[in-house]
Amino acid sequence: WWSGDTVAVVTGANKGIGLAVVKRFAELGLTVVLTARDEERGKKATEKLRGEGLGNVRFFALDVSKAASIKTFVSWVETTFGGLDI
């Protein structure tokens, strides 16, 4: 049921299980938003995946413990994708 129009968001995804989930979703053809609190680490993880041919991965800095960060992220997702699926 998914395609490149399916948008998945993975929080805390610059390493470990989160990064593996992003990679797998991207391999399956979904558009994936990799989020991390640390912008530098998140961007590096995103570039690594893009270097592996996974151009459907996007990055956004997100700290889920901060309401302002969540609000900014939600606004960006709605503006950029019209919402999210996963």
How much is the pLDDT for 67?
98
Residues of the chain falling short of pLDDT 70 = none
Q: Residue 35: inside a domain, yes or no?
A: yes
Q: Residue 86: inside a domain, yes or no?
A: no
Specify the number of domains making up the chain: 1
Residue 22 domain boundaries: 7-77
Q: Residue 66: inside a domain, yes or no?
A: yes
How much is the pLDDT for 2?
81
How much is the pLDDT for 4?
84
Give the domain CATH number at 64: 3.40.50.720
pTM of the model: 0.94
Q: Residue 85: inside a domain, yes or no?
A: no
Is residue 31 packed enough to be buried (19+ CB in 10 Å), middle (13-18) or exposed (0-12)?
A: buried
